[in-house]
Amino acid sequence: MFNPGSDGFMLIAAALVFIMTPGLALFYGGMVNKKNAVTMMMQNFFSAGWTTVLWVTFGFSLAFSRDIAGVIGNLHYAFLTHISPSTLFPGNDQISMLTFMVYQLMFAIITPVLMTGAFADRMRFKAFIVFLTLWLIFVYFPLAHWVWGGGFLAKWGVEDFAGGLVVHTSAGFGALAAVLYLGKRKFPKEGNHSLPLILIGTALLWFGWFGFNAGSALRVDLDTNVAFVNTMEAAAFAAVTWMFWDYWRTGRWSAIGFMAGSIAGLATVTPAAGFVTPQAAMVIGIVAAIVCHLAVDYKNRKGWDDALDVWGVHGMGGFTGIILLGLFGSSAILGSNGLIYGGGTFFLKETAAAIFVAIYAFVISYILIWITDRITPVRVPEEAEKVGLDEYEWAEEAYAL
Sign of CA dihedral 301, 351, 241, 16: positive
**DSSP, res 162:** S
Residues 266, 254: Cα–Cα separation, whole Å? 19
3-state SS, one letter per residue, for 104-138: HHHHHHHHHHHHHHCCCCCECHHHHHHHHHHHHHH
Residues 268-295: tens digit of each pLDDT: 999 999 999 999 999 999 999 999 999 9
Say if residue 255 is exposed, middle or buried (CB neighbours under 10 Å; 0-12, 13-18, 19+). middle
Residue 30: its H or E element: helix 4-31
Query: Quick check: 116 and 37 in contact, CB under 8 A?
Result: no
Residues comprising the chain, all counted: 401
Q: What is the pTM of this model?
A: 0.96
The CA distances from residue 106 to 102, 109, 286, in Å, are 7, 5, 28
Residues 287, 45: Cα–Cα separation, whole Å? 32
Residues 175, 162: Cα–Cα separation, whole Å? 20
Q: What is the reported pLDDT for 399?
A: 87
Q: What is the reported pLDDT for 93?
A: 86
Residues 167, 270: Cα–Cα separation, whole Å? 9
Q: Which residues of the chain have pLDDT under 70?
A: 401
Query: Quick check: 261 and 240 in contact, CB under 8 A?
Result: yes
